[in-house]
Amino acid sequence: MKFFAPIIYLMNRVKYLGKFSIIGGLLVIPTIVLAFLYTTNINEDLSRLERRQDGAKYNQLLSDLLQDVQLHRGMAVGFLGGDTSYKDKMVAKQEEITKDLQALGQFNGSIKTESEEGLRELTDRWKEIDTSIESVSPTEATKIHADYIQSILDYIVEIGDISEIMITDSKERLYLAESTIQTLPVLTERVGQMRANGMNAISSTTEDTSSLIKLVELQSLVKESLSSLQHEIDVMENEPELEKSLKGLSDEVSTQTEEFLELVNSELIRNTAATIDINEYYTLATNIINKNFELYDQGIKEQIKQMDKDLGELDLVRTLIISAIIFVILLVIYGFIGFYLSIRSNIMKLKNVAEEVAEGDLTKEVSLQTKDEMNDVEKAFNEMIRGLRHLVNQINKNAELVAASSEELMASSEQTTSATEHVASAIQEVSSGAERQMIGINESSKALEELSIGVQRIAENSSGVADLTSQTAIQAEDGSKSIQENLNQMNSIHVSVAESGQIVKVLHDRSQEISKIVEVIKGIAEQTNLLALNASIEAARAGEHGKGFAVVAEEVRKLAEQSQTSSLQITEIIHEIQSDTERSVEMMSTVTEKVESGLTISKQTAENFTLILQGMKEIAPQIEEVSATAEQMSAGTQQVVAGVAEIANISKTNSATSEEVASSTEEQLASMEEITSSATALTKMAAELQELVKTFKI
């Protein structure tokens, strides 16, 4: 069922017309789509067949052009070979060729666009041949025509490819198409070349063997084409109509062509001196070519005929399919309309009877003239009406009984309600007294609880204070010891600082003495430098004898300068040491003062800790006694609170019980009022029910 849930959901939400429209759409739309696809396929096949037919018709026009160009070649060779009687025929044939090209240009088939370029090339090349043919030799004319005819043959094949003539559904038609596109056009051209080369050989006054050699080659090619043609015709025996139309004519072409080949072989190839007249040869060859073109034309006509037949059959199939689909759709619509009207008629009958039953007429019954599932609906509907009729009778009887019972119930409920009201009033007074008692006990209990909490906190705090006092006494004693040790340490520091001050002062005095000694060294260095300068001057005066003394004087001067420099450096260092020593002396004085001050404070702190320790030792026993007394008071208070709490619970239980009794009494009173109200409503409903039952026809 889940699989059909979506369609059931949809069908349940539309009317029957919508249901049948949906079902019809589900049936008709796919049918129309399939028909459209099939007819589209048929139309495509028709289009392809029409295209192939256009290709065959176009090739029929090309066969006329091919035949006329081949004839023009023979006439041109005869005229250029010296026979002027061919000129008028040649000119007339040129006009026919021009008309053939014009007819091709006026063709309006489905392949016109694809074929225009090739036709334009053929037309342009023919105009060149038409204007220059009289100024060339017979051999050149033969070659020019051969090239042009080859272009026509290629164009025929191209048209076959464009129109897809070779795509058929049977091998017979395939070989027929091949014979009309390739075999027969090539055969006619090869025989036509034999005609032109034979005329060249006959009219030639020189011993030119090129035409004879060409004839030998063409003779072999013609035999090859005849063999291919015979094979293609033999394949068509499976289609009697084609065989009947082409077999006899094909045999004539083969026989006459072979006779012509034998004539060429005996008269031109084997016989060095031709005995046949050129006009006789032209006429004989032309007749053979015309017979080939007759077969060629017949083959194209058979192609067109077969395509016309296929087109007619496809068109008939398309018409039959469309007609059948339309008929089926109309038949389905007719069936759906009949089905809809049948169901609608039965539903309207059910609706009319249901409306009469709804208005109270239970004497009606449904009568449907049907043997389907609606017949079951008819039976069930009539059974329902009969059941309603019986039900209304029972309701009428029960309504009378209910009316009498409801009156008795209403009287009893009124009496019970009055008694219940008295009980509720008494219980309410008891409950009020219990509530007032409960309020007083609660207030006493709260006061005792607060008192108990306060005493308990005093006991806890007293115990804590005793503990803290003991700990404080211990810590005060430890602090006193620490202060004493600190005082001893401060005394040691004071002595050390005093000694350090004396040492720094001695160091400052010694640095001043060193400074004086450095001044003396500096003076000696200056004197030495001056003596060295004088010695240098005296050495300079002494000349050669004083050079050695001058060197010594120079060295002494350098030593004096170095001593002076070193004394200056020592002086700077001594000055820095003196400066640092002076600062150290000042700092030592400051430290000494601060140590003396700290020593005084430490002594005072030690004395204070001694006093605190004595006080703590006196307070500790008193606090322990207070803590013990507070704990006894807390225990007694808790016992009193427990007793009051028990009394409060008893009062609370009594109050709750009174409230429950009062509540139950009130609920009973409310129930009795509801019963009274229900009895009144039931009496009213019984009366209304009796009035309603009277509206039914039984």
Residues 570 and 423 in one domain: yes
Residues 266 and 409 in one domain: no
Q: 285 and 380: one domain?
A: no
Same domain, 611 and 480: yes
Q: Helix H segments across 179-209?
A: 184-203
Question: Reduced to 3 states, what is the DSSP secondary structure of residue 361?
Answer: strand
State whether 561 and 684 are in the same domain. Answer: yes
Classify residue 369: in a domain, yes or no.
no
Same domain flag for 544 and 676: yes
Residue with tokens 């272009």: 151
Same domain, 296 and 385: no
Which pTM was predicted?
0.49
Tell me the pLDDT tens digit for each residue of 307-325. Answer: 888 888 888 988 998 898 8
> 544 lies in a domain?
yes
- Identify whether residues 452 and 601 lie together within a single domain: yes
Which helix (H) or strand (E) covers residue 357, if one does? Answer: helix 278-358
Instruction: Give residue 640's pLDDT.
Output: 46
Please report the pLDDT score of residue 62 as a whole number.
93
- Pick the last residue of a domain from 238, 269, 303: 303
One domain, residues 293 and 440: no
Quote the pLDDT of residue 471. 74
Q: Both 274 and 402 in a single domain?
A: no
pLDDT tens digits, 620-635: 566 567 456 556 656 6
Does residue 15 lie in a domain region? no
The reply to whether 242 and 391 lie within a common domain is no
CA distances from 290 to 67, 188, 193 (A): 8, 8, 14
Q: Is residue 97 part of a domain?
A: no
Please name the residue ranges forming H helices in 81-111. Answer: 86-105
> Helix, strand or coil for residue 523?
helix
Boundary-marking domain end, from 303, 328, 362: 303
Quote the CA–CA distance of 261 and 441 in Å, as a whole number.
Answer: 153
Residues in the chain where the model's pLDDT stays below 50: 423, 430, 626, 640, 644, 647
Residues with Cβ < 8 Å from 126, sequence gap 6 or more?
A: 97, 98, 101, 148
31 within domain boundaries? no
Q: What is the per-residue pLDDT for 636?
A: 58
CATH of the domain at 610: 1.10.287.950
End-to-end CA distance of the chain: 42
State the pLDDT at residue 627.
59
User: At CB < 8 A and 24+ separation, what contacts does 626-631 make?
Assistant: 626/462, 627/459, 627/462, 627/463, 627/465, 627/466, 630/455, 630/458, 630/459, 630/462, 630/463, 631/459, 631/462, 631/463
Residue 63 lies in a domain: no
pLDDT of residue 218: 92
Q: How many domains, in total, are found in the chain? A: 2
Q: Which domain-ending residue is among 278, 303, 328?
A: 303
Domain containing residue 597: 376-693
Can you give the pLDDT at residue 430?
46
How many whole angstroms separate alpha carbon 349 and alpha carbon 338? 17
16's CB contacts (< 8 A; 6+ apart) are 340, 343, 344, 347
**Within this chain, do residues 260 and 382 fall inside the same structural domain, yes or no?**
no
Instruction: Assess if residue 72 is contained within a domain.
Output: no
